[in-house]
A and B are shown apart, each in its own frame.
Chain A
Amino acid sequence: DWLCSQTLLHAGAEREMKQLIMQRSAVHLESDAFLVCMNHALSTEKEEVMGLCIGEVEINRIVHIHSVIILRRSDKRKDRVEISPEQLSAASTEAERLADMTGKPMRVVGWYHSHPHITVWPSHVDVRTQAMYQMLDQGFVGLIFSCFIEDKNTKTGRVLYTCFQSVQAQKGSEYERVEIPVHVVPRDAIGKVCLESAVELPRILCQEEQDTYRKIHNLSHLDPITKIHNGSNRPNRPIRVLG
């Protein structure tokens, strides 16, 4: 029994040590990448948006995020912010392209999503999702942008952002959030990659809208009046974003 308990203690300490080693000490988010995240988060208050962060990890365990990739959400239910393997693969390809462009070892280092009208802290689903990503990359970080918050009494609006990772106190226990310091690093000018990401938003919205409309259009049982209604409804979103 004593041997068992010692083994468990040792295993627990080892796990904790591993988690501590891989835990990031801080995240430095370049201000132009921050701009893209804010734009994306503020694009809709009806659903959560998400994307991936591309950057490099410095020797002192600081993650430096140089740019972000806006992602399409296949499942728009609340808090379902899973990233498909295809999207991860495409993001890795983009990271390689950035690495060639900048000469720095770029890779996907984290993800971000928005919490419209919701507290900035990650939910249990978010913490578990983060833990799942950390199984692929233990240093993966998560950012959350909370927006469209207003204190009705003082008419004060708020936008918040936080950075976190997940840890498991012991095997089989619930994952818990670990706070990671995050700083926005000033940049003299907006980088090319971030500009490209920013104009990608209306394109992605258009694709989403086209996919949705195509499904609706294929419903043969709809009468013409309904089709006219749907057709009038369809095209506004991408144009509104561009406006």
Chain B
Amino acid sequence: MYHLLMGIIECAAAGGSGIDGDVSIMAASISGYTFSSVCFHSANSNSDHEGFLLGEVRQEETVSISDTQISTAELLQVVEIHNHDPCAQLFSFYDYAGKVNEDNLNRILKDRRKSVIGWYRFRRNTQQQMSFREQIIHKQLTQLLGVPDLVFLLFSFISTANSSTHALEYVLFRPNRRYNQRITLTIPNLGNTSQQEYKVSSVPNTSLNYAKVIKEHGAEFFDKDGVMKDIRTIFQVYSALQDKVQAVCGEVEQSERVKEKIQEDVNKLKQQIALRKRKTAEEERRLREAQNAESHPTSEENSEPSETSLLSRVAFHAPSAPERPGTSPNPPSYSDLLSQEDSLLSSSSSPTSAALLPRPQAVGSPGHPTPGPLGMGLGLSLGLGLGLGDSSEYENLVSEAAHLPMVSASVLAQGRPAALSPDGDARGSQTS
């Protein structure tokens, strides 16, 4: 039989202690507010969403002693995710080849760079595996940020066929370790703290000496009303904190209203730009028609572009190794893209920006709806472990469909409806 003596010694983050140990085990936690915030930003995104994880890493040492008296020390690396820094759009710090641009990275992170302990990605209807591009980016981030054990948190969103039930799956990877180790991510909350319950009864003690000592020293704990002094102090701390939170809430509310106003202005400007482009396209079309009529008065006016030229205008160009400029332009929203495509179909204008957009890539697509995705989507309907090959082929399929009200649920059904079966009930059956 072995005796196990557990001693936990907290060390500084880097370096470790004097006892040789192998930092092989990692534990990770993320605050509920940060987790919810990531879900919020992801839900607001019409494409994949990504960002950086901010927090701290510390090492805990556990010493175990067995009957043989050989002490073995194990270093436990504890990652605490305190906050996140969402990226406004995809490809903001890397290009299609996965090459990270350090200047853009610094521009995004600013002074938060030293707090980065990992990064995250949110995708819809994809497998819980890192894609090749993500692995490449991760290696570069590890070097650039100087965090040897940088972590990667992958969120995947799937829904049932009728969109009545949705699941957000999350896995924390430790890609710089062998076999791309996965770490359990806990969410600390009020239910899993070591707080003991209130005691409603006391152990009877009739000792006079005991009563005498307690009476003498009791005054140090209780005030004249018999209430514990600490309670009042701690309540004051709580009130101060609550007031601060209230004040911050007010500030956040103001900044959210400013953000809303700015977004409204941006949307109006986008509409005006789209309207102006449509008008310009219309005028050019009329001009061309007039010119055609003058040059070929007998031929029928070709108001509709030929199929080939139409396809060449509508089809996206796909350079072999596309490189976006350092500052990536904002990808068009789904509604803008539809309106642009409509204008293309009815005009014979020169290629608009829609036609010049790169073909939606598997990873990091800015969220265009890919024509005819259902065929590929069907292949995705089968859940994990199907050997579908590179998951990147299926990433970001119909990603925005999930967030358009009244969208047909059949598109979402191409996710993993079979896998979204009732989870194992910890209590057993559903009967109460």
Contact = CB atoms under 8 A, between A and B. Distances in A.
A119 B256 contact: no
B37 A35 contact: yes
Max chain A Cβ within 10 angstroms of own Cβ: one of B160, B403, B430? B430
A123 B430 contact: yes
Contact of A42 (B184, B189, B234, B405): B189
A240 B242 CA distance: 11
Interface residues of A, number: 91
B423 A226 contact: no
A222 B202 contact: yes
Given A35-B39, A79-B432, A224-B222, A229 B199 contact: yes
Interface stretch (A5-13, A89-97, A98-106, A180-188): A180-188
A188 to B, nearest CB: 4
Contacts of B221: 224, 228, 231
Interface string A195-225: 1101100110110000011001101011111
B180 to A, nearest CB: 11
A189 B403 CA distance: 16
A158 B169 contact: yes
Max chain A Cβ within 10 angstroms of own Cβ: one of B44, B230, B426? B44
A157 B403 contact: no
Given A119-B424, A150-B184, A179-B164, A192 B253 contact: yes
A235 B263 contact: no
Interface string A88-130: 0000000000000000000000000000111111011100000
A212 B40 contact: no
B214 A186 contact: no
Given A34-B43, A237-B195, A189 B422 contact: no
A135 interface: no
Contacts of B384: 154
A65 to B, nearest CB: 12
A25 to B, nearest CB: 9
A221 B241 CA distance: 34
B318 interface: no
B231 A235 contact: yes
B144 interface: no
A195 B256 contact: yes
Contacts of B196: 229, 233
Interface string A50-77: 0000000000001000000000000000
A35 B36 contact: yes
Contacts of B166: 160-162, 182
A44 B190 contact: yes
Contacts of A203: 242
Contact of B162 (A179, A205, A231): A179
Given A219-B200, A223-B205, A239 B237 contact: yes
A125 B429 CA distance: 13
A232 B230 CA distance: 8
A198 B32 CA distance: 12
Contacts, number: 249
B35 A38 contact: yes
Contacts of B407: 183
Given A162-B164, A184-B43, A186-B43, A124 B431 contact: yes
Contacts of A173: none
A159 interface: yes
B373 interface: no
A241 B193 CA distance: 12
A46 B202 contact: no
Max chain A Cβ within 10 angstroms of own Cβ: one of B32, B182, B264? B32
Contacts of B201: 221-222, 226
B163 interface: yes
B95 to A, nearest CB: 27
Contact of A182 (B163, B172, B200): B163
A171 B103 CA distance: 69
Contacts of B423: 119-120, 146, 149, 158, 160
A122 to B, nearest CB: 8
Given A35-B36, A42-B189, A160 B165 contact: yes
Interface string B173-201: 00000000011110101111101111111
A226 B202 contact: yes
Contacts of A182: 163-164, 166
Contact of B187 (A42, A62, A219, A234): A42
A202 B235 CA distance: 12
B88 interface: no
Contacts of A42: 32, 35-36, 187, 189
A163 interface: yes
B337 interface: no
B33 interface: yes
Contact of B193 (A125, A150, A164, A236): A236
Given A121-B422, A160-B423, 9 more contacts: A120-B422, A146-B423, A183-B404, A183-B405, A183-B407, A189-B256, A225-B202, A233-B198, A240-B190
The 4 closest A-B pairs by CB, nearest first: A46-B191, A231-B228, A42-B32, A179-B164
